[in-house]
Amino acid sequence: MQELIVEIIKLLAIVATPLILLFLVFRREIACIKAYSEDFKCEKCGHCCQFSILLNKQDIQNIISSGHSKEEFLEKKNFLNILKKDKSGFCVFLNKDKTCNIYEARPKTCRKFPYLNYLVFKGCDTRCPAVKRKC
Ligand code: SF4
Ligand code: SF4
């Protein structure tokens, strides 16, 4: 009987260890999936405007078309195109009242935030305080 219990414990350990490791590696993604909400309401706090925003060609073209020069907003980091930040660490287009100066031409990443996709799962980025509060 004792041997059987030991075998069961070993088996449980074999099954549980990879699951625990997976949870530890993907805990942020799991939290984001759990936080998904279709009726998310942005509180316009501007917190997300301090994250690094990657720009694609279309984003750059849209911002230029809205009347801004590349020098004003484009920064190269490790060969990537990033939206520039000001001295306070926020996007150069964030107004003092936390509104976006290029709202109609804002990059795709800004339009999608805080929504995220993980393969077939949908999530909400928990770095957003409004999302975090609902978790
Ligand atoms: S951090 Fe969240 S609540 Fe604040 S502006 Fe961004 S999306 Fe809206
Ligand atoms: S482009 Fe607008 S929404 Fe995007 S980070 Fe800058 S201020 Fe925020």
The DSSP code for 72 is: H
More confident residue, 124 or 25: 124
Minimal-distance CA residue to ligand 2 atom 7: 94
pLDDT of amino acid 73: 98
Q: Which of 32, 113, 116, 133 to mutate to test the pocket of ligand 1 (most atoms within 8 A of CB)?
A: 113
Q: Which ligand is nearest to the CA of 50?
A: 2
pLDDT of amino acid 129: 96
Domains contained in the chain, number: 1
pTM (2 d.p.)? 0.83
Domain residue limits at 42:
2-134
Q: Which ligand is nearest to the CA of 42?
A: 1
pLDDT for 23-70, tens place per residue? 898 898 999 999 999 889 999 999 999 999 999 999 999 999 999 999
pLDDT(109) > 90 = yes
H-state helical runs in the chain: 2-25, 27-34, 57-65, 70-73, 108-112, 129-134
Stretch 88-107: mean pLDDT: 97
State the DSSP H helix or E strand holding residue 117, giving kind and residue range, or none if neither. Answer: strand 115-118
pLDDT of amino acid 89: 97
Residues touching ligand 2 (Cβ under 6 Å) are 49, 53, 83, 91, 93-94, 100, 102, 106-107, 110
How far does the centroid of ligand 2 lie from the alpha carbon of residue 50, in Å?
9
Using CA atoms, how far residue 101 sits from 21, 96, 134, in Å, is: 43, 10, 28
